[in-house]
Amino acid sequence: MTRRPLAGVRVLDFSTLLPGPLCTLLLAEAGAEVVKVERPGRGDEMRAYEPRFGTDSVNFALLNRGKRSVTLDLKNPIDAQAAVALARDADVLVEQFRPGVMDRLGLGYDVLSALNPRLVYCSISGYGQTGPMADVAAHDLNYQAETGMLGLSAGADGKPGLPQALVADIGGGAYPAALNILLALRQRDADGKGCHLDVAMADNLFTFMYWGLGNGFSGGGWPKPGAELVTGGTPRYQVYATADGRFLAAAPLEQKFWEKFVEVIGRPDLVDDRADPEAVRAAIAKTIASRSAADWAARFDGVDACVCVVKSLEEAVANPHFHARGLFDRQVETADGQAIPALPLPVAGIGRDAQARRYPGLGEGNVDFVGAPLEVKK
């Protein structure tokens, strides 16, 4: 087997739930050894979620495949010292507590970097380690609301739509954390020094709205929901209802795609949408509503117009294209051999772990890493 890029890198993971565990899953997928530090008795809160897969939740299994688990009570001085000992030998530490918590536990960056100057210490939080909102409690929905992202999803009644993707946790937290850890390891190769990474999920959401920031900063044209190129202000970027209660996602933004689009729907008279875009949108909506989703799918099959039927997640998973790319080939297993497809990750082929791997039982790595007995889950 080809040596994976992060082979030999040890990651100490104090995080729970989604952002940190997904970050360290990406590192594990590329070959890092991830030691997950959990609370005795309960472990990561994600273990208790529903539905179940094995003895824990399927959410936990998907996010913690291939890691090792140790249990330490960080408020207990003996266990805290065991955590310090683990940090001495770690290359990377990931934590997701509120700012200041790791310092109070004696596990802050200043203490650990003095013992291990090569340590790359990554802190993931909602609003960052500094600033007036650093200690504010929040979840993904709040980060999207505070950064203006949620406001751009408002419908005709002015109410923002409830996001179905955890953009802040994943796109603002897990992915930037993994990226910056890799950059820090590369820098460490050059100068031998670790560093403290401050990854703020809210900060990183602004990148997703680059076009809105550009419009606002350059000429004061701050975007409004339902009025811009990708928020509903053009008939060329819309979701249209079909006759059978399904929907067509139409994104023929460029002129060549737009011309194909109006041709296929039988409305070439609508090709000039500049004078009255709302009238054109209404006319297209009426046309799309006259036929079923399957009919439109057949008509657009093989046509370059950036149009497709809106799929359910179940339909999307069954798409032969994703299976041809091996997206769901790898598996995650329980201790007794149950298996489901592992979470697809944005790790290119050179770094992927192609094997089915178990998720860790609570504290099963205690003997190997801290010399304590294996914890038995009650």
Q: Which residues are catalytic?
A: 139, 169
CA distances for 68 relative to 80, 164, 205, 333, 345, angstroms: 18, 30, 31, 14, 19
Residue corresponding to tokens 């005795």: 40
What stretches of 120-233 show up as alpha helix (H) in DSSP?
A: 140-146, 167, 175-191, 201-205, 210-219
Instruction: Give the residue among 177, 222, 164, 231 at the shortest CA–CA distance from 204.
Output: 177
Asked if 50 and 338 touch (Cβ cutoff 8 Å), the reply is no
Phi, psi of 338 (to 5 degrees): -65, 145
How many Cβ atoms are within 10 Å of 354's Cβ, its own excluded? 11
Asked if 211 and 253 touch (Cβ cutoff 8 Å), the reply is no
CA 107 distance to own-chain centroid: 27
Q: Amino acid identity of 336?
A: D
Phi, psi of 140 (to 5 degrees): -50, -45
- C-alpha 190/C-alpha 200 separation (Å) is 26
- C-alpha 275/C-alpha 89 separation (Å) is 66
Say whether 65 sits in a helix, a strand or coil.
coil
- C-alpha 333/C-alpha 65 separation (Å) is 8
